[in-house]
Structure 1
Amino acid sequence: MLRQDETVRVNPDRLEELYHQLGESGAEDVVCRALEELAARLSHTERCFREMRHHDMRKSARSLVAIAEQIGMSLLARVALDVTTCIDAGDKTALAATMARLLRIGERSLTQIWDLQDLSI
């Protein structure tokens, strides 16, 4: 059985920059809203994939890129961009594999950043 396990990392420098720019309260607000939006967009992207609404899926994945980059989730941003590349190429097999990877990375990234926030409290 193929074991699909990738290490996800949140860029602590990006989070530190947010805290420096916005202060603790402002940065926590931005991060919490971004996490909520990421979770919603991941779910929406998956729903669009199941329903074969590739145009909507592409828009949702592009928004994932911007949100993930904002809070230092570069791997999640890169995989979401890979999803858009697969849609553009019309490669359904690669899209299915990349979408599965996006969901795995997304879940792990969200968990990791929540864990980081728990450590900072």
Structure 2
Amino acid sequence: MKQVTMLAMSEPAQLDAEKLEQLYEELGDSAAEDVVCRAMEELAVKLAQTDRLYRSGQIAEMRKTVRSMGAIAGQIGMGTLARVAGDVLACVDANDGTALAAVLQRLMRMGESSLTQIWQLQDLSI
């Protein structure tokens, strides 16, 4: 009998603290916190939209949502999430459904992890 090993799909989010600090320096604490909170809300909505659009086969619309998600993530220091969003776009553009399914799951994990990490930073008052 062969043994199957389940791999734990976990990848820590990597936030660019310098980017966040720069945002806070440029906008001030109150305005920067407002920008980050709105971005987090928008990213959460876009993650849900991405999943819904993928499941319903609306790949062109999903691509737009992921592209927007990547731009928002990059603005608030979520470089890894922005990069994975770019990987999803590359899979769509290559019409590689198998790779898209895998990379999209990575995007979902990374999105959730990034939102959790930045939320915790917010609790610590960057």
TM interval, short-chain normalised: over 0.9
Match of 1:41 in 2: 46
Match of 1:32 in 2: 37
Shift of residue 107, structure 1, vs aligned partner: 0.3
Match of 1:18 in 2: 23
Shift of residue 74, structure 1, vs aligned partner: 0.4
Among candidates 74, 95, 108, match of residue 103 of structure 1: 108
Instruction: State the SS of the aligned residue for 2:28.
Output: helix
Name the structure with the higher helix share.
Answer: 1
Gaps of 5+ in 2: 1-5
Aligned residues: percent identity?
A: 59
Shift of residue 46, structure 1, vs aligned partner: 0.8
Superposition CA RMSD, Å = 0.9
The residue type equivalent to 2:45 in the other structure is A
Instruction: State the SS of the aligned residue for 1:120.
Output: coil
Match of 1:54 in 2: 59
Shift of residue 120, structure 1, vs aligned partner: 1.3
The count of corresponding residues between Structure 1 and Structure 2 is: 121
CA distance in 1, matches of 2:29, 2:41: 18
CA distance in 1, matches of 2:14, 2:125: 16
Shift of residue 17, structure 1, vs aligned partner: 0.5
CA distance in 2, matches of 1:43, 1:5: 19
CA distance in 1, matches of 2:121, 2:29: 14
Shift of residue 30, structure 1, vs aligned partner: 0.3
CA distance in 2, matches of 1:19, 1:2: 38
1:26-69 deviation line (CA, Å, top 9, x unaligned): 10000000000000011111111001111001000000111000
Shift of residue 5, structure 1, vs aligned partner: 1.5
Q: Does 1:80 align with 2:85?
A: yes
Instruction: State the SS of the aligned residue for 2:115.
Output: helix
